[in-house]
Amino acid sequence: MIEHTSVLREEAVQALNPTYGKTYIDGTLGGGGHAKHLCNLLDATSTLIGIDQDPVALAQAQEKLANCPPTLKLVQGNFGNLLTLLLQVGLPKIDGGILLDLGVSDFQIKHPERGFSFLHAAPLDMRMDPNGPQTAADLVNTLPAKDLANLFYQYADEKLSRSIASAIVNARPIENTLALAKIAENIYRQKGIKAQKIHPATRIFQALRIAVNQELQMLESCLNQLPNILLPGAHVAIITFHSIEDRMVKQFFRVACAPCICPPQQPICTCQHQATFKAMGKPIVPTDQEVQDNPQSRSAKLRVYERI
């Protein structure tokens, strides 16, 4: 079992306001770190629904949560299909809350054959669901240079997206993670850019992972389902790791928390919009100590909301 260090574990779980007798969702179960801590604060009258699209994650979490007090319901799937998954376990309405950790689990990164890391030579896979329809290799070896460049720029803000995309097309076929990482590294070297805080391939791998797993589409789908799934008083705790997903969360809840969405210059409200959530304080970021202990947490941001 590869241990995963859960980011903002205490803060995220406390944000859910754990209460005996209520039902909670961990929509990105991973290795079960957040879920384990949440279970310790619940009793046998409570229920925890654990969702993950990775069967390896589910198996590991089931082992970790085997003796936890709450009733445990594990289901394989993507949180973007939240209502469908909840109907499978017979709990379409949630009175406790939902946690979403949008990061990648350590056990996915540390299994080289999954292709999430460029520290080892591995197939260009990057699927969180091993049965997913497309791999990173499919994108790298088939997309036109323009589409690759747009993907790198839009999903990872890669400033050298065009140069890297062109180099990828010229180097096809690209068979493994190290070969792809080397292309990005060479482009940075040719441009005379040195002393990067992160490896030149980091953003390329991020963008491909997001595209392969349709992460932004699934996040948008999940957010749109929350008002119909959560009962008044239920909490939402979402941990983001990059600006694109954080912006999506912030913009969705800006509207969801607003009593009116009419244009500011309009003197009388005609939108008939009603707020469905309220913000529970400002975004929470890791402490300096957590970042020191777990550098992967450095960009994390926790946003918390309550259904009203």
Using CA atoms, how far apart are residues 234 and 99, in angstroms rounded to an integer?
11
Domains of the chain, first to last: 9-107+215-307 (3.40.50.150), 130-212 (1.10.150.170)
Work out the percent of the chain whose per-residue pLDDT is above 70.
Answer: 98
209-259 pLDDT, tens digit each:
999 999 999 999 999 999 999 999 999 999 999 999 999 999 999 999 999
Amino acid at site 242: H
Please tell me the pTM assigned to this model: 0.93
34-83 pLDDT, tens digit each:
999 999 999 999 999 999 999 988 998 999 999 999 999 999 999 999 99
Cβ-based neighbours of 137, under 8 Å, separated by 6 or more: 123, 124, 125, 174, 175
Cβ-based neighbours of 179, under 8 Å, separated by 6 or more: 171
Q: What are phi and psi of 74, to 5 degrees?
A: -105, 140
Token match 């009962």: residue? 231
Nearest CA among 70, 6, 7 for reference residue 286: 7
CB 149 within 8 A of CB 162: yes
CB 139 within 8 A of CB 212: yes
Partner residues linked to 99 by β-bridges = 26, 237
Q: Is 52 helix (H, G, I), strand (E, B) or coil?
A: strand
The residue count of the chain comes to 308
**Does the bond joining 173 to the residue before it have cis omega, within 30 degrees of 0?**
yes
When pLDDT is averaged across residues 101-127 and rounded to a whole number, the result is 87
